[in-house]
Amino acid sequence: MLDFKIASGRSNLPLARNIANYIGVELTDVTIKNFSDGEIWVKYEENIRGVDLFIIQSTFAPADNLLELLLLIDAAKRASAKRVTAVIPYFAYARQDRKDQPRVSISAKLIANLITRAGADRVIMIDLHSSQIQGFFDIPSDHLYASPVLIRRLLHLGLTNFIVAAPDIGAAKTARAYAKRLNVDLVIIDKRRPEHNVAEVLNIIGEPEGKNVIIVDDLIDTGTTFIQCAEALKNRGALDIYGVCVHPVFSGNALEKINSTQALKKLFVTDTIPLRAESDKIEVVSVAELFAEAIIRTHDNRSISSLFEIER
């Protein structure tokens, strides 16, 4: 059996440490530095020849996080690691996943190409913006779901008289899975994007009046979608509104906007991206155990599908 090791870039060290702790190993000793012009330099400080290496790195902005992952993969291959798995808790550039207008890039495919060409032998990701991104990789890719962990937390709230809401059509499939698992009804918000980072609620499909609501989305970027959805539901007579999102991208002043909106009572996010500040309104639910189990099972060539058994 191959040795296995876990290394991490600098984008999400707290999650990487928690994953390593759960498995009961130390993170592999890696030095990562920036030159004065910002260029990144990486070096494995221990022998990784013949090793089954898992590299943990979220690729949220800045793009240096992606570059750091590519350099770590490249260095590992050149140091004769036997197999390199890129463990990517947040896979950025995923939203540009098709040519939805002329002369645009399909960034998700480009990033998949870069990771593969750098030398990754396989990838593990969680709650991709769209599942078909798995197919952009011509190497084995495992797609985890945070829903079992988040649903467990939601069940502990002991909520009654509630429904689940999808903030746009794209989120409907995931939200429906939550609703099914929680055995409640689903409402869908009909959202329009007149331009980048701007969202408009056009219609609410379903009946939120007199109900507590849990809004489910894969990510929050500017917070516009989530907050407008919460406000629209409130205006239609919803009671308490909770939110669940896997990836807290929180660009610009999204965190402040979420903290200050009266429409949202509590938001549950995961630790795929570290929060830059704590918030009374936001609770972080860790996906470290899920990734740790996926890593152990991948190393042992065991199935990982039982980690995300949820009807979709």
Binding residues (CB under 6 A) for ligand R5P: these are: 167-168, 170-171, 197, 199, 217-226
Handedness of CA 68, 72, 75, 78 (dihedral sign): negative
Minimum distance from residue 167 beta carbon to ligand R5P (Å): 6
Smaller CB distance to ligand R5P: residue 197 or 203? 197
Cβ–Cβ under 8 Å, residues 276 and 4: no
Is 191 among the residues known to form the active site?
yes
Smaller CB distance to ligand R5P: residue 200 or 209? 200
Minimum distance from residue 193 beta carbon to ligand R5P (Å): 8
Minimum distance from residue 194 beta carbon to ligand R5P (Å): 12
Smaller CB distance to ligand R5P: residue 119 or 223? 223
Smaller CB distance to ligand R5P: residue 78 or 98? 98
What letters, b where the CB count within 10 A reaches 16 and e where it falls short, cover 81-97? bbbbbbbbbbbbbbebb
State how far the alpha carbon of 15 is from the alpha carbons of 149, 164, 272, 305, in Å: 15, 28, 7, 22
Tell me the C-alpha distance between 204 and 202, whole Å. 7
- Please name which of 50, 5, 43 lies closest in space to residue 25, comparing C-alpha atoms: 5
- Please name which of 147, 192, 195 lies closest in space to residue 173, comparing C-alpha atoms: 147
Q: Which residue has the tokens 């059509």?
A: 169
Tell me the C-alpha distance between 213 and 54, whole Å. 38
Minimum distance from residue 312 beta carbon to ligand R5P (Å): 16
Minimum distance from residue 293 beta carbon to ligand R5P (Å): 26
Smaller CB distance to ligand R5P: residue 50 or 252? 252
Minimum distance from residue 248 beta carbon to ligand R5P (Å): 10
Structure tokens at 261: 């909106």
Smaller CB distance to ligand R5P: residue 70 or 220? 220
Smaller CB distance to ligand R5P: residue 154 or 219? 219
Minimum distance from residue 250 beta carbon to ligand R5P (Å): 8
Q: Going by C-beta distance under 8 Å and a sequence separation of 6 or more, which residues neighbour residue 18?
A: 271, 286, 288
Catalytic residue selected from 5, 77, 109, 191: 191
Report, as residue numbers or ranges, the catalytic residues. 191
